[in-house]
Chains A and B, each alone.
Chain A
Amino acid sequence: EAGVTQSPTHLIKTRGQQATLRCSPISGHTSVYWYQQALGLGLQFLLWYDEGEERNRGNFPPRFSGRQFPNYSSELNVNALELEDSALYLCASSDFRQTSVDEQFFGPGTRLTVL
């Protein structure tokens, strides 16, 4: 079974640009979660999508947005990039309706560098 995949692996942008990160969940999982791991700040929850709808949002500005497609894959968009947006962005998926474990499976992440 294929795990959660993310693309690209690395992304370099300059301040003010937009970044688009992509995530494919494990087959059969309907929920996708996005987390940011910036140096010194730990893992912080960004967004949760389930069945195409945004279910929850972390304490991030509106320039962080995303969507979930009918095949449950997801995009994270970061507009007007700032230097402090440099971080590892992790995507996770789960199928909490079908399991009592509600384990989140994480992808390898996208390393975003803003110059």
Chain B
Amino acid sequence: NAGVTQTPKFRVLKTGQSMTLLCAQDMNHEYMYWYRQDPGMGLRLIHYSVGEGTTAKGEVPDGYNVSRLKKQNFLLGLESAAPSQTSVYFCASSYPSRLAGFYNEQFFGPGTRLTVL
């Protein structure tokens, strides 16, 4: 099993350009998440999905869109990149747990380092 994979690993964009980050998981997990990580800010949830065809906003959703057309894939889109979106983006997946109260152990991908000039 590859676990959670992210494409690309690095990317440099100019302000106003668009791009899509791809996350794929082969663990048949129901839930998937996108986070951004900035120095001193920890991990902040952008969007998440609790199943194929469903998405929901997290803490910092502005400037991002997501789609979950297939259970194994979760796409994060930046329509018009801004320097404030320079960050490391992590995707994660998990399966639901009634014992855990909904959210369970998350498996993270290796991250995508995005720089917006």
Instruction: Say whether A and B bind each other.
Output: no
Chain A residues engaging chain B, CB cutoff 8 angstroms:
none
